[in-house]
Amino acid sequence: MTNSEELTVTTTTSTTIIDTNISISNTNTKSLLDDSNWKDKLKLPPKDNRPKTTDVTATKGHNFEDYCLKRELLMGIYEKGWEKPSPVQEQSIPIALTGRDVLARAKNGTGKTGAYTIPIVERIDPNKNAIQAIILVPTRELALQASAICMELSI
């Protein structure tokens, strides 16, 4: 692994292509990856104390670690402020990680974008210099949101 890897995420809508290059520096994250107390050293956002509906809280009690995700991705998830997977994420992430297609429907704000971006970022090989994933969404706003989340998750 080199000191700096580059990940390219291309997000498209019917008329807009957003090409985002993400540079991952291993110098800062390498020490966190080898450390068993890596969670204690993360820069977590303030806890969200807003009331949550059962659309988000009715989970089976899984954690993101249960999906055997890369430590770098777990760091991005926790630094984003996501503590536990939402119900739509609990159901779709394990299936998507196996490479199968997922069709999920849920209300706004229930974690659908995370449900498909987490498996995409997990399966990206930074050593390959080729398009590895395409995210198709119906609006420019959703394309920008998906692109931003991919960048935030990949630290």
Phi, psi of 105 (to 5 degrees): -135, 130
Nearest-angstrom CA–CA distance, 40 and 149: 23
pLDDT of residue 129: 92
Residue whose structure tokens are 């080898």: 34
The side-by-side arrangement of strands in the sheet containing 134-136 is 17-25, 4-12, 134-136
* Residue boundaries of the structural domains of the chain: 4-153
One digit per residue, the tens of pLDDT, for the chain of length 155 reads 444 444 444 444 444 444 544 444 444 444 445 566 666 666 666 676 666 666 666 667 778 888 889 989 998 998 888 888 988 999 899 999 998 988 988 888 888 999 999 999 999 998 999 999 999 999 999 999 999 999 999 87
Half-sphere exposure of 155 (CA within 13 A, CB side): 26
- Long-range Cβ contact pairs of 90-97 (< 8 A, separation 24 or more): 90/59, 90/60, 90/62, 92/116, 92/119, 93/67, 93/118, 93/119, 94/67, 96/120, 97/67, 97/122, 97/123
Q: Which CATH architecture has domain 4-153?
A: 3-Layer(aba) Sandwich (3.40)
Phi, psi of 46 (to 5 degrees): -60, 145
